[in-house]
Amino acid sequence: MKTLRLALAALVALPLVAAEPPSPEALASQARSLAGNLMLSLQGELFAAMKDGGPAKAVDVCRVRAPGIAAATATGTPWKIGRTALKVRNPQNAPDAWEAAKLEEFRKRLASGEELKAIEVFEVVQTGDRPIFRYMKAIGTASPCLNCHGASLAPEIAAKVKELYPEDQAVGFAAGQLRGAFTLSRPL
């Protein structure tokens, strides 16, 4: 019993050491991996939908499945994951001030010759009284995207988009342009 009391006393005397938060680079690596997983899952569902039902089915995937895929990707993690753009289809995906500034930065980086697939940004920002780690990864416009986001949509796709998203702005893109970004954040 005396040994147990001495052991407990020794434990109580130990200083409490707060765990160091992960470095920004480690957090960026986590975010990059999650964004990659989201992109692969979303692309897989979009390509399957295009094969099974064409672009109209792909609109449904983006509308119905994409939020669920993002939520599933974040499950079990402290991350909040989404998509945003300067020209949004769904107003709920509109960028906040930080995201809008970073999207403008992405456009400039692309225009100056940086490779689209390499464009990302991360930083710790103060939100109220707590630090938040934020990460964004550019989403490019690939040829299949043009079916629903290009300059000229098939009439049935244009009608469906207008029906589902009366305030749609996410058209007029060409292959290789910045379409938007994956956006991830987590409290520190």
> Is 39 inside a domain boundary?
yes
Q: What is the identity of the amino acid at 127?
A: T
Strands in 6-152 per DSSP E: 80-84, 120-127, 130-140
* Selection from 40, 32, 141 nearest residue 87 by Cα: 141
φ/ψ of 154, rounded to 5, equals: -60, 145
Domain span at 57: 24-187
> Is 108 inside a domain boundary?
yes
Number of independent structural domains in the chain: 1
pLDDT tens over the chain, length 188 residues: 555 454 444 445 555 666 787 999 999 999 999 999 999 999 999 999 989 988 888 888 888 899 999 999 999 999 999 999 999 999 999 999 999 999 999 999 999 999 999 999 999 999 889 999 999 999 999 999 999 999 999 999 999 999 999 999 999 999 999 999 999 999 99
> Is 5 inside a domain boundary?
no
> Is 137 inside a domain boundary?
yes
What is this structure's pTM? 0.86
> Is 1 inside a domain boundary?
no
> Is 152 inside a domain boundary?
yes
Beta-bridge partner residues of 114 = none
Residue 54, C-beta contacts closer than 8 angstroms, at least 6 positions apart: 147
> Is 138 inside a domain boundary?
yes
> Is 136 inside a domain boundary?
yes
